Amino acid sequence: MHTSALAFESATLASVMFLAFGMITMYAWWLGLRFPWLLAGAGGLFVMVFYFGLLAISAGPAPVIPRAEIALALRLLLVAGTLLLAVPFAYAARLLLRAGMLWFGWTEW
């Protein structure tokens, strides 16, 4: 089996970074920032932790779990994480759109 450089290191790094971002987001919630999108964003970040963790353990020349066995779980986790992360992006797009409308003098929404 051919393996390239960073076969599992990249997924491990991505998993750790998503974990750090998720912890920062939950810390912001604990501090009292109660934005409606914050929990959905944190949930999406934690789902991505599991996604990249499963990618990491199923990569390389001797994977712990063969990727064929967890392919469906990987796809479902990616869809769930993407949908949860779309919530904060939708809120941000809405805020930017409203700010742009106010900047140009449009008061109707």
pLDDT at 59: 87
Segment 45-80, tens digit of pLDDT: 999 999 999 999 998 888 889 999 999 999 999 999
Give the N- to C-terminal CA distance of the chain in Å, as an integer: 57
Using the Cα atoms of residue 12, residue 17, residue 18 and residue 22 in order, give the sign of their dihedral: positive
Q: What percent of the chain has pLDDT over 70?
A: 92
